[in-house]
Amino acid sequence: MDFYQVAAAFYDRTVGRAELEGEHGDVAFYVEEARRAGSPVLELACGTGRVLLPVAEAGLTVVGLDSSTAMLSIAREKIAELPDATQRRIELVEGDMRSFALDQRFKLIMIPFRSFLHLLTPADQRQALGCIRDHLADDGRLVFNIFDPRLETIAAHLGTLGTALKRFREFTHPETGRRVVVWEARHYDPAQQILEEERIFEELDADGRVIAKTYAPLRLRWVYRYEMQYLLELSGFVVEALYGSFERGPFRHGGEQIWVARRG
């Protein structure tokens, strides 16, 4: 089962809140990029609308594409609460970032919060970048971020200790009000550059008994800095910038890779 289908109801309480807000201003960064580019904007892997909605609220026309019906359903609920004028600037599409076909070209295509890493093979990555390039305006730009692999962290997780289940965080269930404890286990495959992550959501009653348990597996393929640069160039892009922070600071190993590339 896909992670986002399973964990959609919890996303804004866990991944969507704690991890993403911890990425040091990524929403503000993407809104600024959208304002610089102008409409229309396309967000790939838009999820529940965490970035999509602020872009629309900033006055941009934006299309959000995601492969998860559950995540898009939550996004639609959020959109329905916005003013009519803002709602009219938003379109949601269910689709695959490797093979989407939209009848327009975009000033900006963005892939926030490392969602490019859901592409698990170089062939998938090339296919997605080709599709993105076909949907960019002549002066359009691609902006996205991925984590830069920290080799010492990967090495520390190898072996049996790396797969041990660890307490990740807890939150209050949005519907029941009960406490939910999140457990996490990670396994790294350096040869394939694959991170396999298992998250377990345990819902507890007032006495601390587990009354519901949800398993949510996740797989990502990390990409090294120069591998990403060459991949962009091979796919017909010209790299304009590589930042290491959403304040546009310099790239540093083990941090974030924030890429700005234009259609070549």
- CATH number of the domain to which 189 belongs: 2.20.25
205 and 236 in a single domain? The answer is no
Q: Is the pLDDT of residue 16 over 70?
A: no
Please count the structural domains in the chain. 2
**Of 173, 172, 195, 197, whose CA–CA distance to 183 is shortest?**
197
133 and 35 in a single domain? The answer is yes
239 and 189 in a single domain? The answer is no
The CATH number linked to 34 is 3.40.50.150
- 76 vs 23, 180, 197, CA distance in Å? 24, 25, 28
Look at 25-29, 143-147, 172-176, 222-226 and tell me which has the smallest mean pLDDT: 172-176
Longest dimension (CA), the chain: 60
Q: Is the pLDDT of residue 64 over 70?
A: yes
- 65 vs 33, 100, 185, CA distance in Å? 18, 9, 29
Q: Is the pLDDT of residue 17 over 50?
A: no
Q: Is the peptide bond before 40 cis (omega within 30 degrees of 0)?
A: yes
Instruction: Give the separation between CA 37 and CA 263, rounded to whole angstroms.
Output: 13
What domain range includes position 85? 3-149+223-263
Question: Which phi and psi angles does 140 have, rounded to 5°?
Answer: -75, 160
83 and 37 in a single domain? The answer is yes
17 and 98 in a single domain? The answer is yes
Q: Is the pLDDT of residue 20 over 50?
A: no
196-208: pLDDT as tens digits: 988 898 999 999 9
What is the mean pLDDT of the segment spanning 224-250?
A: 97
